[in-house]
Amino acid sequence: MENCVEKVILNEMDLSDIVKKLGNQISKDYKDKNLLMVSILKGSIIFMSDLMREINIPCKIDFMSVSSYNGGVKSSGVVKISKDLDISIEGYDLLIVEDILDSGITLDYIINTLKARNPRSIKICTLLDKPKRRTANIKADYVGKEIPDEFIIGYGLDYDEKYRNLPFIGIANPALYS
């Protein structure tokens, strides 16, 4: 896997610092709330599992799986729910945990779907944000780091379902997909 990354942009220490900061802030903000963390599979699994261990207030977790990418590097614009939540979200303060906010099409669809189920509140926590590529009218409440418009892999993020297991985040070598 050595040549899959052109440049590392966040190493393991950077990621740990970012996640600790987010966890502290979320723990403060949700102290008197009814926190339900919703991880969007599969990209956010590593971020979710690290982030939830930095949260020092009671919370529940659930998972939802959607896809808008069909193995390529650009969003197809079509979102499909392939695994829905197990918990009924009425009365919960939802925190959606995402790996990366890109066009925003995926989260826009998820938020609209979940709003209709009457949660008490919905906020978004994304590890990475590519604001330049946004087409949907959507903004994250918690952002780990803004990054430039490059295709990245590692720490949960894939290219064609591979490279999620890299412990760092790097810009994918264009040779992977060209």
Q: Point out which residues bind ligand IMP (CB under 6 A).
A: 43, 68-69, 75, 98-106, 151-153, 157-158
CA distance 134 to 172: 20
Strand extents, DSSP E, the chain: 5-10, 35-41, 60-67, 80-83, 93-101, 121-129, 142-146, 152-153, 169-172
Query: What does 75 bind: Mg ion, ligand IMP, none (CB cut-off 5 to 8 Å by kind)?
Result: ligand IMP
> x/- string (CB under 5 A) for Mg ion, residues 31-70?
------------x---------------------------
* Three-class DSSP category at 24: helix
What residue is closest to Mg ion based on CB?
Answer: 43
We find the least distance from the C-beta atom of residue 115 to ligand IMP, in angstroms, to be 17
Q: How far is CA 23 from the centre of its chain?
A: 14
CA distance 168 to 118: 37
We find the least distance from the C-beta atom of residue 101 to ligand IMP, in angstroms, to be 5
Amino acid 117 reads: R
Query: What does 106 bind: Mg ion, ligand IMP, none (CB cut-off 5 to 8 Å by kind)?
Result: ligand IMP
Contact flag: residue 144 with Mg ion (CB under 5 A): no
CB 119 within 8 A of CB 92: yes
Report how many residues bind Mg ion under the rule CB under 5 A: 1
Which of 50, 93, 102, 129 is catalytic? The answer is 102
Which residues contribute to the site for Mg ion (CB under 5 A)?
A: 43
